[in-house]
């Protein structure tokens, strides 16, 4: 099955600096890679996602890059703000043209702390 | 205002008791999921349901049971057979079966006393 590894487990940055979180996956059939942000005591929320036919996607201060050959994808947050402090999860979902459930495999999470 | 609700937010249970966690969604989603979250670990899938009256075991189904009698509801029962039930439980839903965004509820923190 799919295995997703996420690094680092914790990350502290100064406000205004950039933060980068990296994930690798094992199943070359995976084709959908969402990133979720989880604030303390809440459920995860999707912040950005990318599909395997795209190498990069950007949404304001957040960007995700995907390298299918190397099987890794990264989350980039620029100009970090204190409200960016949270746990971030990457995930991978296998593709395929058939129907049926396609399991989402999550990384172990990165706790990001933005220091004012 | 569409979304997923979970109740209760906090739940305390004595050893040997079964407890049921509620999950309701008004997003008209077909698929629903239950995850368990432990510190330092990712989300682990307990059960999922693609359609009413059907559900499948996930990676860690032992000691848990579910039902899906209505599209909107997917309750999870943590039975006394679950050896280490203290955790944060998350319910999610998605539109369909193929890879796509999952919408999460706010979670229930279960503590066994």
pLDDT in tens, A25-77: 999 889 899 999 999 989 999 999 998 888 999 999 999 999 999 999 999 99
Q: Specify the pLDDT at position A53.
A: 83
Asked whether the beta carbons of residue A102 and residue B97 sit closer than 8 angstroms, the reply is: yes
How many degrees, rounded to 5, is the angle at CA A36 between CA A35 and CA A41?
165
Q: In chain B, pLDDT over 70 holds for what percent of residues? A: 96
Max mean pLDDT among A94-98, B73-77, B92-96 falls in B73-77
What is the mean pLDDT of the segment spanning B23-43? 91
Task: Tell me the sheet residues that pair with B87.
Answer: B110
The beta-carbon neighbor of A43 closest among B31, B97, B106 is: B106
Asked whether the beta carbons of residue B104 and residue A93 sit closer than 8 angstroms, the reply is: no
How high is the mean pLDDT of chain B?
92
Q: Which residue has the tokens 């459930």?
A: A101
Residue of A nearest to B103 (CA): A45
Q: Which residues of B touch A40 (CB under 8 A)?
A: none
Q: In chain B, pLDDT over 90 holds for what percent of residues? A: 75
**Cα–Cα nearest to B53, from B38, B41, B70, B40:** B70
**Interface residue A103 vs chain B (CB under 8 A):** yes
Q: Specify the pLDDT at position B35.
A: 96
How high is the mean pLDDT of chain A?
92
Q: Specify the pLDDT at position A7.
A: 97
Report how far apart, in Å, the C-alpha atoms of B111 and of each of B9, B70, B88 are: 11, 28, 9
- The Cα–Cα gap between B46 and B30 comes to 17
Choose between B73 and B2: higher pLDDT.
B73
**Interface residue B105 vs chain A (CB under 8 A):** yes
* pLDDT confidence band for A103 (50 / 70 / 90): confident
What is the mean pLDDT of the segment spanning A73-83? 97
* pLDDT confidence band for A94 (50 / 70 / 90): confident
The beta-carbon neighbor of A32 closest among B43, B99, B105 is: B99
Q: What is the 3-state secondary structure (H, E, C) of A23-76?
A: EEECCCCEEEEEEEEECCCCCCEEEEEEECCCCEEEECCEEEEEECCCCEEEEE
* B109 Cα to chain A: minimum distance (Å): 9
* B14 Cα to chain A: minimum distance (Å): 23
Q: In chain A, pLDDT over 70 holds for what percent of residues? A: 93
Query: Of A43, A49, A97, which to mutate for an interface test with B (greatest number of B Cβ within 10 Å)?
Result: A43
Q: Specify the pLDDT at position A100.
A: 56
The beta-carbon neighbor of A45 closest among B45, B50, B104 is: B104
Q: Specify the pLDDT at position A99.
A: 52
By mean pLDDT, which of A2-11, A19-28, A90-99, B70-79 is the weakest? A90-99
The beta-carbon neighbor of B48 closest among A9, A44, A101 is: A101
Q: Specify the pLDDT at position B111.
A: 94
Are residues B8 and B63 in contact, defined by beta-carbon separation less than 8 angstroms?
no
* B82 Cα to chain A: minimum distance (Å): 22
Asked whether the beta carbons of residue B31 and residue A101 sit closer than 8 angstroms, the reply is: yes
* pLDDT confidence band for B73 (50 / 70 / 90): very high
Asked whether the beta carbons of residue A43 and residue B102 sit closer than 8 angstroms, the reply is: no
């Amino acid at each position: 099955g799919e295995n997703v590894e996420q690094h680092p487990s914790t990350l502290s940055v100064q406000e205004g600096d950039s933060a980068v979180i990296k994930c690798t996956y094992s199943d070359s059939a995976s084709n959908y890679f969402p990133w979720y942000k989880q604030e303390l005591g809440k459920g995860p929320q999707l912040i950005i996602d990318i599909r395997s036919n795209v190498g990069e996607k950007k949404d304001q201060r957040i960007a995700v890059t995907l390298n299918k050959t190397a099987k890794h994808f990264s989350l980039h947050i620029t100009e970090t703000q204190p409200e960016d402090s949270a746990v971030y999860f990457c995930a991978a979902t296998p593709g395929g043209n058939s129907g049926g459930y396609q399991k989402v495999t999550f990384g172990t999470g990165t706790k990001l702390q933005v220091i004012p | 205002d569409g979304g997923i609700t979970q109740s209760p937010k906090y739940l305390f249970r004595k050893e040997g008791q079964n407890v049921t966690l509620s999950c309701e969604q008004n997003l008209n989603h077909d698929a629903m999921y239950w995850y368990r979250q432990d510190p330092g670990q990712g989300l682990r899938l307990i059960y999922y349901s693609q359609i009413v009256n059907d559900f499948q075991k996930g990676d860690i189904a032992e000691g848990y049971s579910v039902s899906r009698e209505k599209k909107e509801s997917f309750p999870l029962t943590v039975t006394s057979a679950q050896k280490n039930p203290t955790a944060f439980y998350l319910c999610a839903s998605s539109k369909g079966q193929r890879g796509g965004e999952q919408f999460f509820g706010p979670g229930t923190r279960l503590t066994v006393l």
